[in-house]
Chains A and B, each alone.
Chain A
Amino acid sequence: MPQAQQTAQAAQTMIGQANPTAIMFFVLFVLITLGITWWAAKRTRTTKDFYAAGRSITGFQNGLALAGDYMSAASFLGIAGLVSTKGYDGLIYSVGWLVGWPIVMFLISEPLRNLGKYTFADVVAYRLNQRPIRAAAAAGSLVVVLTYLIAQMVGAGTLIKLMFGLPFELAIVITGALMISYVLFGGMIATTWVQIIKAVLLLGGATLLVILTLNKFNFSYANLFNQAAGATPLGQKFLEPGGLVTSPVDAFSLGLALMFGTAGLPHILMRFYTVPDAKAARKSVFVATGFIGYFYILTVTIGFGAAVLVGQKVIMGIDAGGNMAGPLLAEALGGNLFLGFLSAVAFATILAVVSGLTLAGASAFSHDLFVGVVRRGQASEKDEVKVAKIATVGLGATAILLGILFKGQNVAFLVGLTFAIAASANFPALLMSIMWKKFTTAGAVTSIYTGLTVAVILLILSPTVWVDIVHKSEAAAVAKQVKTIEEAAKAKTAEIEKQKVPGLDPAKVAEIDAAIAAVKKDAEPQIKTAKEQMPKAIFPLKNPGIYSMFAAFFVGILVSLMSPDKVAEAKFEGEKLREYIGIGAED
């Protein structure tokens, strides 16, 4: 082990420089995907082609595409980084990202496919008044899509800058231009294949990296963990739960948002309309869950491997958050060629995710807002596709602008917000519309807006935004003040400590120790007073999921009970029949 560590540390990293291998692989990826887009463009005529790839995707293909949609660069690079720097806590984090998928399968996938056409609003509006429902659902979808897009775009700019040495703005413009091209010309067919190719590349690259890593440990995980505990300053603690979960309520709230948020992400839900029937829809979740779970296990292995073979010092020297742990490990084990390949895969990963998001946003705009609200359901297919394409360009341009605008900002909270909104605005209304006969238009609309506003407001008042962003300078000032007091006390004690010379009278030693203790005691109340100035969050939890989700369900149920709708109730029988056996489902 020490030998491997030394060679890695001695090696000059290529990360951050223009890497010809990476650029070559990336150009190859772009050429292939643009070729597919050209091929897809000829097959994209109707709304069914544009939104749902003509429902021609198989269950297995859709499973891969779902995995491609979900496995973001943030999870690939971020989780490996978190594991390499924090150990077990990174593993805890990765588990949370998987557990929403079984929920998608058990509660959502089949009814969604049987009842809807292109967006999840189709299902919510099935028995209810189209216009208010579509407006509310489109609001929920667009907010989720935009917040997630900003997070992905800013992440993309930062990562590409780190990996390819490209300027931030240029990286965002390239990402945006490619994403618009795929969606605009190739619709869902091109987007699906971009996701499938990316998923295969990412899973293949990560598998190869894990094989090369385990090879260094004689293919023994026990060996890997033993060395990981030995190689990091945390020691054995590296393999134990640490500070990530301190407040149980906070952990529960984040867990709820991750679990039910997955079942409320519009770009994920939309994918279920690309398969021919409900059977293929459920198969695709099984395939996706398997691949995503496998991917997280790989990523965690990469993180532990990087901690040993690259070393935390080198990893955090390149990027304090550890985001380059995976690429650094690839470089250490497979040289520049492998680093270039993996960098290109990370770029492709970002592209696939933002394309899926853009398409979902465009369909919320055209299918729900334009056709459902503005045209009251009366629009030709040609008009609908045209509006969807205009929306694609508009969303893409917005994403590019916002990405550049948010440069250098801490956008990590946006991912948490995305899942909290998806779990609170979209999921409750979707679930109740499928399961509950007495659900009404007023109930659905108020539930969606309640979930949306409660999630956004509570997040703004939470420590994540209120302390870390709104009162950033105050928090930093307090931290600085505390540090100054501590350092002054430390300097003072060190000064007194100097008086201790060998052979000193024991009484004198006791006197000096007392003086040191007095200095420490003096500093304590000062630190306490300084810390009291720390800005406090108005809402205590980091993730609002538990309250916003509860509020959405509560309001939805209460308002529905207060506004009985006999027409909607009467339509429930038809919905039930279609939901369970698929009679009348879109084909």
Chain B
Amino acid sequence: MSSKKSVHEILEDEDFKSLSAQKDTISIILTILELVLYFGFIALIAFNKPFLAQKMGGEGATTIGIPIAVGTIIFSWVFTGIYIFWANSKYDTLVRKVKDKVGG
């Protein structure tokens, strides 16, 4: 046990600090983006219906609101994809590094 670092020492470790700070930052940024995406959509419906009711141009009846709604769904999924990509490529590597240091 004596060779292992204490919990406090690990938390003070630069690698752990960078790992937790990076994870907090990316989680919060993506959460805010998702909130802006969805409530932006809701705000458009509440305050600017004519914008969403515009036709897409050409002869068609399709309104701009349709791709915007479907886009909100697709972007929500893309955001989770961005997180996964970051976590798999960066976060897991950092976790492994810290774990190796503490022999955990």
Chain A residues within CB distance 8 Å of chain B: 88, 91-92, 94-96, 98-99, 101-103, 105-107, 221-222, 225-226, 228-230, 236, 239-241, 244-245, 247-248, 251-252, 255, 259, 279, 282-283, 285-286, 289-290, 293, 296-297, 300, 573-574, 576-577, 580-583
Q: Tell me the smallest distance from the CB of B44 to a CB of chain A, in Å.
A: 8
- From known contacts A99-B76, A222-B62, infer whether A259 and B38 are also in contact, taking CB-CB under 8 Å: yes
**Top 5 A-B residue pairs of the complex, sorted by shortest distance between their CB atoms:** A248-B46, A240-B53, A229-B61, A99-B38, A225-B62
B62 touches A582 (CB 8 A): no
A103 touches B31 (CB 8 A): yes
- From known contacts A106-B30, A241-B49, infer whether A293 and B76 are also in contact, taking CB-CB under 8 Å: yes
A226 touches B95 (CB 8 A): no
- A interface footprint on B6-19 (CB within 8 Å = 1, 0 otherwise): 01101100001001
**Chain B: CB-nearest residue to A238:** B61
List, in ascending order, chain A residues with CB within 8 A of B70's CB.
Answer: 91, 297, 300
Most buried by A among B23, B31, B34: B34
CA distance A95 to B62 in the complex (A): 18
From B20, B42, B99, contact of A251 by CB (8 A): B42
A583 touches B76 (CB 8 A): no
User: Chain A interface secondary structure, helix, strand, loop or mixed?
Assistant: helix
User: Chain B interface secondary structure, helix, strand, loop or mixed?
Assistant: helix
Q: Tell me the smallest distance from the CB of A258 to a CB of chain B, in Å.
A: 9
List, in ascending order, chain B residues with CB within 8 A of A88's CB.
Answer: 52, 63, 65-66, 69
A-B contact pairs, 30 of them (CB 8 A): A88-B66, A91-B65, A92-B45, A94-B69, A98-B76, A99-B38, A102-B34, A103-B31, A106-B28, A106-B30, A106-B31, A107-B31, A225-B60, A226-B61, A236-B61, A240-B63, A241-B53, A247-B46, A251-B46, A279-B87, A282-B87, A285-B80, A286-B83, A286-B84, A293-B77, A300-B70, A577-B11, A580-B23, A581-B95, A581-B104
Most buried by B among A95, A98, A245, A583: A95
Interface size counted on chain B using CB atoms at 8 A: 53
B39 touches A255 (CB 8 A): yes
CA distance A98 to B19 in the complex (A): 29
CA distance A290 to B69 in the complex (A): 15
List, in ascending order, chain B residues with CB within 8 A of A91's CB.
Answer: 65-66, 69-70
Q: Tell me the smallest distance from the CB of A118 to a CB of chain B, in Å.
A: 23
**Chain B: CB-nearest residue to A228:** B61
B62 touches A98 (CB 8 A): no
Q: Tell me the smallest distance from the CB of A291 to a CB of chain B, in Å.
A: 10
List, in ascending order, chain B residues with CB within 8 A of A252's CB.
Answer: 39, 42
**Chain B: CB-nearest residue to A255:** B42
Known: A99-B72, A101-B80. 14 other contacts (CB 8 A): A91-B66, A99-B76, A101-B76, A106-B28, A107-B27, A230-B61, A236-B61, A241-B52, A241-B65, A252-B39, A282-B83, A293-B76, A576-B11, A576-B20
CA distance A221 to B31 in the complex (A): 31
From B10, B38, B49, B88, contact of A240 by CB (8 A): B49
Q: Tell me the smallest distance from the CB of B25 to a CB of chain A, in Å.
A: 11
CA distance A197 to B61 in the complex (A): 38
List, in ascending order, chain B residues with CB within 8 A of A255's CB.
Answer: 38-39, 42
List, in ascending order, chain A residues with CB within 8 A of B23's CB.
Answer: 580
